A and B are shown apart, each in its own frame.
Chain A
Amino acid sequence: MDAKQIAIGSSTRLPAVEKTPFYHIEKPVTENRGDHFLRAFAAVLEFTDYKALLDSYCTSSAKCNRCAVSCPVFMVSGDPRDIPCYRTNILLDIYKRYFTIGGAIKARLSNGFELTEEVIDDMLEVFYRCTACRRCTQSCPMGVDHGLVTRLGRYILSLIGIVPKALQVSVREQLEGETHNTSKVPKDALLDTLGFLSEELEDMVGVKMEFPVDKSNRDYVFFCAVSDYLMEPDTLMGNAAVLYAAGDWDKWTIGTTNYDGINYGLFYSDWHLENIVKQLLAEVTRLRGKNILIGECGHASRSAHDFVPVFGGPSAQPVVSFIEYTLRCLKEGRIKLDPNIITERVTYHDPCNIARSGWIVDQPREILKSFVPDYVEMTPKGQDNYCCGGGGGLVSIDEIHDYRMRIGGKVKAEQLEKTKADIVVAPCANCKKQLKELVEYYKLPCRVMGLHDLILRAIEIPGGKSPAERKEEAALLEM
């Protein structure tokens, strides 16, 4: 397997994507970036508790290179800078040299490592060539979490103003703007969209569903990636259909003060991560909701699931992924999915943020297998699955589209092609965008859909048209 993977890498070895800088930066700092970086690093070490981790990693990192063959970026680029351990060691070298006694002594004795402008440039690029998928962490015998170190590196860079403009502008709107969401969707536009979705659903299934907005004391307060309201109506209608069919229509709500589950803080900043989580919690508390229901989005699910307890304390509302919710409804017999509707071959892509930890791996498969007769797995799958190439916020950075297609997503495209699937299901806003671009770029005969887009086609709606009727109507419309 090793030799083969390397063969793929070396036969397609491409020149590094030359762009200075790798991505757009709002206000690039040009002078003394090294000093600024060290000052920011010192502040981070003072107030956070990354020190234990850095102390342990910087002494024990064995550089065995097992991580290299697990990295879908390195497999294609063949660039040593893309070896996860190499990338991690840039930050560890800085830590060792400037923040440990051993490093200080070593620097006295010889001309060792120095934090130069070149090192800053290197970090600027390599930390954002990584998709933070954390596949390498599983292959590290020592358990070094390269994703966590890369994220820390990005965090410190962001504190000296080095952060992709696309991410920064979105986070600014989310935390400081009027709309409090990353896509700048105002409340009126949200209400319009919900009205439109409601009409569409009525046309499609023959039942009127008014979306519950700002209702108090509901079981679930719903958050999706806000971009879904603009780009993924089928996913949202699928979500609504499940809630309606399960008889939970009066048990959920969408808040209008904050309706964005996106949290780019997960990708590059502790500061933003915490404040965005708190903003989400404030909305749930305002509505006195009992659970936080996260729509189809990998990083939104993880940032809520993993960090609501961290920043909200043990009394914070539980976080439920919509996939978990749908499976529960299915198991309890509250929803029925018609197994005769989906005739295409379907495969499933695991979004890293929910699958890598083993949290959501089997649930979507159980749902899919219950109503998709021609379901195939991609290899590797589940916790070992490859990243789409758009993880870690990369998909939102338009100027690196070329990199994401040629390098970051190439392994995924090859893996997808081998399944010969007509539909790839990817329950994640970021994965969907990246996969759609990959399918177009590599001209794959494959459609990218959300899990609930597919469920929408097969779900039986009480009092509405049957899935078979809907399928006929849809076929007529397409003719």
Chain B
Amino acid sequence: MSIEQWIDFAKGPLFALTSMIMVLGLLRHIVIQVYELVAGKGRRLSAAPWRKILNEGLGWAIPIKQIMKGTPFFSSVSYLFHIGVIVVPVFLADHIVLWEKTLGFSLPSLPSGWADFLTIFTVACVLVLLGFRLFGDRQRAMSRLTDYVLLLLILLPFVTGFLASHSGMNPFPWETMMLVHLLSAELLFLVIPFTKLAHIVLFVFDRLSAVHWQLRPGAGDKVADALFGKEARV
């Protein structure tokens, strides 16, 4: 197979397959969460303070107050990183063509100057976040291999995409760059549902702690019965 054919393969069937796995994998999380909540909590769901949960959740959409309360630099970078990482892949002009082809609908595209700026900006954000993990005492204590690998994996499609679309700066053949761009993005698609990146959908469910405080009546006694028998003592 020639490299052009590889690119076509990565753009066509492989893209469809990996994005399908990503979507299904994320859907699986949603289905499991909804099922566990409905089956587990049942009528207690209606007793949860939903308005408060919603208000608090929406408060994080533009989290200026939260950012000012702690780690303002890290939090700002992290917030801006999230904007870049959502906006660039979805609204880039070259990607819109892809949406049209595979999904059948179009979206307004980013002006190319903005796209370039946002891409570089996102890459810079990733590097700063990586710096925090490498050099911040607290973060390093918490970080595991996956946390670094995922950041690099996010970096890859951004860098390769940028180089592929700027031939003047690209030291490698366009085809190679394009192929690496496609494959790295697709690899990211594959790992999203199986790693912490699944917070793309799970963040909604993480915010439901007020629902989880609606404990199940009678459960404590059953646990004690199962472990210690009916004569369970404190």
Residues of chain A touching chain B, judged by Cβ–Cβ distance below 8 Å, are 1-2, 5-6, 39-40, 43-44, 46-53, 55-57, 59-66, 68-70, 80, 83, 85-86, 89, 102, 137, 139, 141-145, 148, 159, 168, 171-172, 175-176, 269-275, 306-307, 309-311, 314, 358, 384
Check if A53 sits within 8 Å of B209, measured CB to CB: yes
Docked pose: A47 CA to B219 CA in angstroms: 5
Check if A46 sits within 8 Å of B209, measured CB to CB: no
Cβ distance B50 to chain A, nearest Cβ, rounded Å: 14
Check if A44 sits within 8 Å of B223, measured CB to CB: yes
| Residue in B closest to A147 when the chains form the complex, CB atoms | B209
Give the interface residue-count category, chain B. Answer: 35 or more
Residues of chain B touching chain A, judged by Cβ–Cβ distance below 8 Å, are 29, 32-33, 36-37, 40-41, 44, 47, 52, 56-57, 60, 63, 66, 68-75, 78, 136-139, 141-143, 147, 194-196, 198-199, 202-203, 205-209, 212-224, 226-227, 233-234
Check if A143 sits within 8 Å of B207, measured CB to CB: yes
Cβ distance B72 to chain A, nearest Cβ, rounded Å: 7
| Residue in A closest to B193 when the chains form the complex, CB atoms | A59
Could you say which residues of chain B place their CB within 8 Å of the CB of A46? 223, 226
Q: How many A-B residue pairs have CB under 8 A?
A: 184
- Kindly identify which residue among A51, A83, A172 contacts B142, using a CB–CB cutoff of 8 Å: A83
Contacts known (A46-B226, A66-B75); A148 close to B234, Cβ less than 8 A:
no
Check if B36 sits within 8 Å of A55, measured CB to CB: yes
Docked pose: A310 CA to B44 CA in angstroms: 8
- Kindly identify which residue among B63, B139, B212 contacts A50, using a CB–CB cutoff of 8 Å: B212
Cβ distance B223 to chain A, nearest Cβ, rounded Å: 5
Docked pose: A80 CA to B141 CA in angstroms: 6
- Kindly identify which residue among B52, B138, B194, B222 contacts A47, using a CB–CB cutoff of 8 Å: B222
Docked pose: A428 CA to B183 CA in angstroms: 59
Cβ distance A67 to chain B, nearest Cβ, rounded Å: 9
- Kindly identify which residue among B56, B138, B223, B224 contacts A143, using a CB–CB cutoff of 8 Å: B56
Check if A159 sits within 8 Å of B223, measured CB to CB: yes
Check if A139 sits within 8 Å of B33, measured CB to CB: no
Could you say which residues of chain A place their CB within 8 Å of the CB of B40? 49, 51-52
Check if A60 sits within 8 Å of B69, measured CB to CB: no
| Residue in A closest to B57 when the chains form the complex, CB atoms | A143
Q: List 25 A-B contacts (CB under 8 A).
A: A2-B72, A43-B226, A52-B33, A52-B212, A56-B206, A56-B208, A59-B196, A60-B203, A61-B196, A65-B71, A65-B142, A66-B71, A68-B138, A69-B70, A69-B71, A70-B69, A80-B137, A80-B138, A83-B141, A141-B60, A145-B209, A145-B213, A172-B233, A270-B215, A272-B220
